[in-house]
Structure 1
Amino acid sequence: MKTISLFFSMMLLVICMGACEGGPVVSKATGSPGDLIVVMDKSAWEGPAGIAIKDLLSSDVPGLTQPEPVMDISYTEPQNFDRMLQIVRNIMIVEINPSMYTKAGMNYSQDRWAKGQMILKLQAPDAASLELYITNNAKSILDFFVKSELNRTIETLDKTYSSYTYKKVKEIFDVELKAPESMKFYKDTTNFFWASNNAAEGRRDMIIYSFPYTDNNTFTPEYLIAKRDSVLKANIPGSFENSYMTTETRFGGVSFTPITVKGKYCAEIRGLWKMVGDMMGGPFVSHARLDEANQRVIVVEGFVYAPEKDKRNIIRQVEASLYTLKLPGEFDQPDEEPLQAELSN
């Protein structure tokens, strides 16, 4: 938790003054990935409903090597929510008013005060119903802001991506994938491609591999993790003899989530990787999808090695790339945002 810093406020003021001098223009949303401001009466913010919001938005990102909050929260009272703060990229506005609302609910809007902005509004007749609503809709609230951040990265990738990786992946697998532009280093073998930014700090990597779809139990965590370990052992060696990458099954293991990508089933796995025989590890996230036209499974994965850095925003960048994967039959589909907010508007 933090309050609005003097530096942040001054930066926004300069931006707003520039906009005013140039006339009525649409500002670009400000802030770093993960920044979010909550607008709420102070008494409610300090009460049970506010505590529920803080606990939810400050909860740990799953699958990281150390605790990091889902969002970086700032707070302001409604009377201080002026133009300087209205152009922040993520905003949550909370209203408690028994004369206006009969039940708790939420809705959202985009680009109200700035381009690239997402606003979630929570309303309720009283603090107790709001607290209960937050508890019952925790996942939807978190997903809204996490998906908003992923969408922003996907939009960037659509314009700026590694053309070399794109060409090689298309050539080897006949699929399309937009990896971050910095991924210019690579290794490719039969049915396996590995791209990396090869950075000394904040290293991020992506791999893609395929295998025939012959088993009805393929899309289970047991099958996909076993396949992952066999593929990584064969293709990603460590620095020492007999060292190789594998899945870290301790410390809470991995999570398996069925999701929908481009209208079709996708198995999402996230967790930690490690090097057997070496002191290296970090977070990963993977998508496994069925290429129906060729009866094969395509797996695309991003993983991060950054022991000296926070990893939330880094892993989100490579995760966003996974959603750009297009299988045969999808190449002509428009590049719509694949992560739509699952809230009423």
Structure 2
Amino acid sequence: MKLSHVNHLLLLALVLFTASCGSDNKPSDKLSSKSHLPVARGESNAILAVMDTSQWNGPLGDALRDIFSDYVPGLPQDEPYFKLRNINPLKMNNILKTGKSMIFVSTLDNQNAQSRAMQNYFTSSSLEKILKDTAIYRLPQKDQFARGQEILHLFGQNEAQLIAHLKRDKDLLRNYFSNIENQRISKPLFKIREKQIEKTIRDTHDFEIQVPYGYDLAKNQRDFVWVRLLDPEFEKNIFVYYRPFTSHDPFDDVLAFREEISSSYMRDIQRPDIYMTLQNENNNIREVNFHGKYAKEVRGLWKLSDISGGGPFLSYTFVDESQKRLYYLEGYVYAPSKDKRVFMQEIEVILNTFRSSQDLKK
């Protein structure tokens, strides 16, 4: 991001803050007032979209739904990234203002009562800046009406302009709230950890991964470690495989690489003829940056070879050049008759705590 663009955002943030809070407050008053704000409320993966209802029911609303209500890949049932709910700006009240995640959407070309109410969140200076600079269309704010709240302002001179920005930055906007949700999950998930299991993994395998309370060490071999949480209604699993890096071949077909690992290590102890394999459908593969390392991410579906169980999985294949190791990390869930979205978010959060010994020294 260019420095001038950052300065514009900072200036716009200042004028927006002034518009929302009133210009008579002293800086110390603003800071102290945060502690008296109510705690943000709302369910996980839910966003309130405060905007003109006519725009919500038109192309602008469609663009937002395409970003936030799209289905998460690699799940057995259709589950959206976020539950998106429209709020009429004329019906905003103190309860609705405490939503955990909110989007305030407005364009200056619409002048009906609801749109004018949206423009009241801006000062005349910020409106003038929006009219002059078409590159600026979004602004995040924290704890505006409640503690623990995340608000994203999306704005433009007209609908067509804002829709173009939304379509161009679809992944960026979705990831903004996905990262927020992962941070919210992380705090209670790691409040208590299995420190002894973490130490065993670190001492044995020369890497670190955070293990939440309740997980057991299911398997610990020279080049493979598996931890799992067993519950009467579901189970969550994390395993890590590694070997010396000698070839890029596994990156050419990461699904075949997974089959090689699961058929060798993920077999039923009492019935070794049963092993974990792929369902060969709904597998989403993409290139990602995994803590500064090139990686192949897979979100897909697994099953047991006798079809007695199955569910979603998430994996990362990458090379740690400092260790000269090829790593395969996977987390998977077995939760029949339950939604899998939040379970898989927990899996993602755990996998992303992985650090090699060299990473920890940086």
Aligning the two structures, in what range does the TM-score lie when normalised by the shorter sequence? Answer: 0.7 to 0.9
- Which residue does 1:253 correspond to in 2? 283
- Which residue does 2:88 correspond to in 1? 77
Partner residue of 2:182 out of 150, 159, 181: 150
- Which residue does 2:348 correspond to in 1? 319
- Residue 176 of structure 1 pairs with residue 208 of structure 2: yes
Give unpaired runs (5+ residues) of structure 1: 1-21, 334-345
Aligned amino acid, residue 174 of structure 1:
D
SS of equivalent residue, structure 2 residue 360? coil
**Higher Rg of the two aligned structures:** 2
- The alpha-carbon deviation at position 315 of structure 1 amounts to 0.3
- Which residue does 1:163 correspond to in 2? 195
Between the aligned partners of 1:89 and 1:287, the Cα distance in structure 2 is: 30
SS of equivalent residue, structure 2 residue 332? strand
Q: 2:102·2:150 contact (CA, 8 Å) conserved in 1?
A: yes
Q: 1:189 to 1:329 in 2, by over 3 A?
A: closer
- The alpha-carbon deviation at position 158 of structure 1 amounts to 4.9
Partner residue of 1:302 out of 331, 334, 338: 331
Aligned amino acid, residue 135 of structure 1:
K
Aligned amino acid, residue 89 of structure 1:
K
Higher helix share goes to which structure? 2
- Residue 136 of structure 1 pairs with residue 168 of structure 2: yes
Aligned amino acid, residue 56 of structure 2:
W
Between the aligned partners of 2:139 and 2:47, the Cα distance in structure 1 is: 17
- The alpha-carbon deviation at position 168 of structure 1 amounts to 2.5
- Residue 281 of structure 1 pairs with residue 313 of structure 2: no
**Structure 1 runs (4+) greater than 6 angstroms displaced:** none
- Residue 226 of structure 1 pairs with residue 256 of structure 2: yes
Q: 1:185 to 1:213 in 2, by over 3 A?
A: closer
Q: 1:110·1:118 contact (CA, 8 Å) conserved in 2?
A: yes
Between the aligned partners of 1:82 and 1:42, the Cα distance in structure 2 is: 16
Q: 1:258 to 1:81 in 2, by over 3 A?
A: same
SS of equivalent residue, structure 1 residue 28? coil
Between the aligned partners of 1:188 and 1:198, the Cα distance in structure 2 is: 17
- Residue 127 of structure 1 pairs with residue 159 of structure 2: yes
- Does 201-210 or 181-190 show the bigger shift? 181-190
Q: 2:278·2:301 contact (CA, 8 Å) conserved in 1?
A: yes
Q: 1:269 to 1:253 in 2, by over 3 A?
A: closer
Between the aligned partners of 2:359 and 2:272, the Cα distance in structure 1 is: 42
SS of equivalent residue, structure 2 residue 330? strand
Q: How many residues align?
A: 308
SS of equivalent residue, structure 2 residue 177? helix
RMSD: 2.4
Aligned amino acid, residue 42 of structure 2:
G
Q: 1:185·1:198 contact (CA, 8 Å) conserved in 2?
A: no
Give unpaired runs (5+ residues) of structure 2: 1-32, 110-126
- Which residue does 1:213 correspond to in 2? 245
Aligned amino acid, residue 48 of structure 2:
I
Equivalences for 1:181-220 in 2 at 5 Å?
A: 181-218=213-250, 220=251
Normalized against structure 2, the TM-score is what?
Answer: 0.78
- Which residue does 2:141 correspond to in 1? 109
- The alpha-carbon deviation at position 24 of structure 1 amounts to 5.1
SS of equivalent residue, structure 1 residue 330? helix
SS of equivalent residue, structure 1 residue 201? coil
Q: 1:221 to 1:183 in 2, by over 3 A?
A: farther
SS of equivalent residue, structure 1 residue 289? strand
- Which residue does 2:265 correspond to in 1? 235
Q: 2:285·2:296 contact (CA, 8 Å) conserved in 1?
A: no
Q: 1:197·1:204 contact (CA, 8 Å) conserved in 2?
A: yes
Partner residue of 1:25 out of 22, 31, 36: 36
- The alpha-carbon deviation at position 26 of structure 1 amounts to 4.1
Between the aligned partners of 1:258 and 1:24, the Cα distance in structure 2 is: 38
Between the aligned partners of 1:167 and 1:257, the Cα distance in structure 2 is: 31
Aligned amino acid, residue 82 of structure 2:
M
Percent of paired sites with the same residue: 27
Q: 1:190 to 1:90 in 2, by over 3 A?
A: same
- The alpha-carbon deviation at position 332 of structure 1 amounts to 4.6
Q: 2:320·2:327 contact (CA, 8 Å) conserved in 1?
A: yes
Between the aligned partners of 2:284 and 2:62, the Cα distance in structure 1 is: 29
Encode CA deviations 1:151-180: one digit per residue, 9 max, x unaligned. Answer: 223344454333243122212211110133
SS of equivalent residue, structure 2 residue 347? helix
Encode CA deviations 1:53-107: one digit per residue, 9 max, x unaligned. Answer: 1243211101101100110122212233333122222111101114653337212
